[in-house]
Structure 1
């Protein structure tokens, strides 16, 4: 299994990580592995589209919220801005 070396870690951060490990009943190494696994899963979940059902629900809420409202066409404003 791969090993990672983290150099120049701020002592304050190290102390916080040690405190977290103690709170969770883990060794520092176990706590760091847990944190890295969570971060990797979250990043993968985010970049692979996440929960499509939640996304659909958010879109449906936005559609209801903005239904019947008129919005100005921003094409001219964008064109003017680009010509500056």
Structure 2
């Protein structure tokens, strides 16, 4: 398995990571693996759009719900709010 070396890590960040590890009952190395795993899974889910079939179904439902409805232009409301 690969190893990673992190140079010049801020000591405050290291202390926070050690505290997190202790709170979760893990070693620092286990905590870092957990954080990296979560970050990788989140990024993968975000970039692939998760379940595309469910996303398409949600878009279709929204299109049906809003078909034929007219919405006001909010530009004037935003201008008024900014001027306050």
CA-to-partner distance for each residue in 1:27-58, whole Å, 9 max, x for gaps?
Answer: 000000011011111111221221231x2354
Structure 1 residues 19 and 56: alpha-carbon distance in aligned structure 2, compared to 1, 3 A threshold? same
Alignment gaps of 5+ in structure 2: 72-84
| TM-score in terms of structure 2 length | 0.68
Regions of 4+ moved over 3 Å: none
Residue in 1 that maps onto 2:46: 46
Alignment gaps of 5+ in structure 1: 72-84
Q: What is the CA RMSD across the aligned residues, in angstroms?
A: 1.9
1:2-81 paired onto structure 2 within 5 Å: 2-52=2-52, 53=54, 55-60=55-60, 62-63=62-63, 64=65, 66-70=66-70
